[in-house]
A and B are shown apart, each in its own frame.
Chain A
Amino acid sequence: MTASPALWKEFGGATDRELVATAATGVEGSFEELVRRYQRPISSYVYRMVGDYEAALDLTQEIFIKVYGSLSRYRSEFKFSTWLYKIAHNSAVDHLRRNAGRERSLMAGLEGDQYELPIESGSLSPEQESERRERRLEIEMVVRSLPAAYRELIALRHSQDLTYEEIVEVTGLPLGTVKNRLFRAREMMRQQFVERGITGI
């Protein structure tokens, strides 16, 4: 079922499913609205996976082009975001496979000058803020030091806030494997926090 775009006030009130339906019939602006809604979560997820800002942006673009090309294959009984993450997952895995040789150099450059994820400043004092920033950077670094298979699950669960069932859908892994890997990833992280002397965890 497709509602009239005129009633949406520039698509803001449309659901993802409605936007997909109108984008598939070529209504101008509806696909752009979908991209606008998901560009940030998808790019940050991809960035966590590939660890390179430029590559993450290129991949994000590639993912949305792929999504547009397969809009007709989208089945509305699934959540659009899950379907989108699934495409993003496949693209990121392909990218990692293509650049398998570079994985090591990525790991080696962990402590070096990498892109710093910006931090939302709330009502914190400058000291608290810098402390938070430091803590976040440390955690980011620990996440990046995880093997890709673990890193992804941590990103999907804790950054993108997906449920276990959604992670199963996105990665195609059995539920048991997802649970097991997530548990082991967290254990590895805790271990590293202890080694790095990160307190309060």
Chain B
Amino acid sequence: MATPEHICQSDKIAAYLDGQLDESDNAQFEAHLASCHPCRSELTVQRQFMCELDFALSSSVDLPMPKDFARVVSVRAESDMSGVREGGERRRALLVCLALGTASFALLGATAGKSLMLGVRGIANKVVVILGLLWTALHDAVTGLTIISRVLGRVLLPKSPFASLAALVLLGLAVASLSHLIVSYHRRNQTRLFE
């Protein structure tokens, strides 16, 4: 049996008003009410308060809805792609997506293979072109030098065969004296070292 202090609780009154007490609690509480004046007056206050709340907040108080709100919303909902309805439909969509995905991956793979080969070939081609260019430059430089030396030789040397012979002899002498000079220079250095 509950004590009066236990029963005299405003949350119990609220539960009673909300119809949240079970049958035995309900009977017990009503019996208590008959003999407890504070609880009775509290009950009256709470009941009045709840009536006021219900009245003030009842759903007859509504927001004004824009015209055709229901139509606009339902059309939007029905055209929303996430609203694919049946499980079967969704599974079919998933299968189609998977098939398309696989196909596109396969195609991508094939294209990637081709493009890889194309890339290697492209690099090789470029290397060949660069090497060719270097070769041409070297060749041109050598040719140019030859031409310049020829031209210079023609200008410097008179046309007579004797003069050219004399020039050759002079060149030979110069080369010989140069080598002699170099050899003597080294010898002098060596003797200096041993002194």
Contacts and interface: CB of A to CB of B under 8 A. Distances in A.
Interface string A91-126: 000000000000000000000000101111000000
B155 interface: no
A179 B126 CA distance: 82
A174 interface: no
Contacts of A67: 77
Contact of B52 (A26, A139, A159, A183): A139
B52 to A, nearest CB: 6
Say whether chain B's binding surface is mostly helix, strand, loop, or mixed. Answer: helix
A119 B61 contact: yes
A32 B71 contact: yes
A158 B49 contact: no
B49 A24 contact: no
Q: How large is the interface on B (under 10, 10 to 19, 20 to 34, 35 or more residues)?
A: 35 or more
B5 interface: no
A72 interface: yes
Contacts of A155: 57
Interface in B60-106: 60-66, 69-74, 76-78, 80, 82-83, 85-87
Q: Most chain-A Cβ atoms within 10 A of its Cβ — which of B46, B77, B83, B87?
A: B77
Given A32-B70, A64-B73, A44 B18 contact: no
A40 B80 contact: no
A71 B63 contact: no
Given A44-B61, A155-B57, 12 more contacts: A35-B73, A36-B70, A41-B59, A44-B62, A44-B63, A61-B72, A64-B73, A65-B80, A65-B83, A118-B62, A143-B57, A161-B54
Please provide the 8 A-B residue pairs with the shortest distance between their CB atoms, ordered closest to farther: A68-B77, A32-B74, A159-B57, A139-B56, A35-B70, A36-B70, A40-B62, A158-B57
Interface of B: 10-11, 14-15, 18, 20, 46, 48-50, 52-54, 56-66, 69-74, 76-78, 80, 82-83, 85-87
13 contacts: A26-B78, A35-B69, A40-B62, A43-B62, A64-B73, A69-B80, A120-B60, A139-B56, A140-B57, A154-B57, A164-B18, A182-B14, A200-B48
Interface of A: 24-26, 31-33, 35-36, 39-41, 43-44, 47, 53, 56-57, 60-61, 64-65, 67-69, 71-72, 115, 117-120, 135-136, 139-140, 143, 154-155, 158-161, 164, 179-180, 182-183, 186-187, 189-190, 200-201
